[in-house]
């Protein structure tokens, strides 16, 4: 089953006021992530929105990302069905890294995309 087409944004066109939602797993996040992004693993998104949404509100522009864009496209589609202003980050963290954008790792060492 193919996920529905969802709107996407390129790394160099992410709005400055967007909430970055990283839906990768904990080990992927720990290895390298965007500073200031919100981390909620894909399968935890519905519970997070129900119990403690934080900056993830329907009126906030949300850019969803994962490693390459597949998981984030699914989450983006689901968020849009729930009334959120969400778009998928084209190419995910692989595109972010290729664009030489800053990343950080939880252990303070060199960040990498898992």
pLDDT digits 0-9 by tens, 3-40: 558 999 999 999 999 999 999 999 999 999 999 999 99
The Cα 83–Cα 107 span in angstroms is 36
Among 20, 21, 45, 66, which one carries the catalytic annotation?
A: 66
The Cα 34–Cα 17 span in angstroms is 15
Indicate the fold that domain 8-98 takes in CATH.
Oxidized Rhodanese; domain 1 (3.40.250)
Measured in degrees and rounded to the nearest 5, phi and psi for residue 92 equal 60, -155
Whole-number percent of the chain with pLDDT over 70: 96
Would you place residue 1 in the very low, low, confident or very high pLDDT band (cuts 50, 70, 90)? very low
Mean pLDDT over residues 71-79, rounded? 96
Mean pLDDT over residues 53-70, rounded? 96
Look up 42 and say whether it is catalytic. no
Task: Give pLDDT, residue 54.
Answer: 95
Reading the block at residue 55, the tokens are 């900056």
Domain limits of the chain? 8-98
Q: Indicate the pTM of the whole model.
A: 0.94
Mean pLDDT over residues 77-101, rounded? 97
Average pLDDT of the chain is 95
Task: Give pLDDT, residue 3.
Answer: 52
């Amino acid at each position: 089953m193919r996920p529905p087409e969802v709107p996407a944004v390129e790394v160099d066109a992410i709005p400055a006021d967007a909430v970055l939602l990283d839906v990768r797993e904990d080990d992927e996040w720990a290895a390298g992530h965007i500073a200031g992004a919100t981390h909620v693993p894909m399968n935890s998104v519905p519970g997070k929105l129900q119990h403690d949404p934080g900056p993830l509100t329907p009126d906030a522009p949300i850019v969803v990302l994962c490693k390459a864009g597949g998981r984030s496209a699914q989450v983006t589609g689901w968020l849009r069905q729930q009334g959120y202003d969400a778009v998928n980050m084209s190419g995910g963290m692989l595109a972010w890294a290729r664009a030489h954008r800053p990343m950080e790792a939880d252990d303070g060492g060199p960040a990498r995309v898992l």
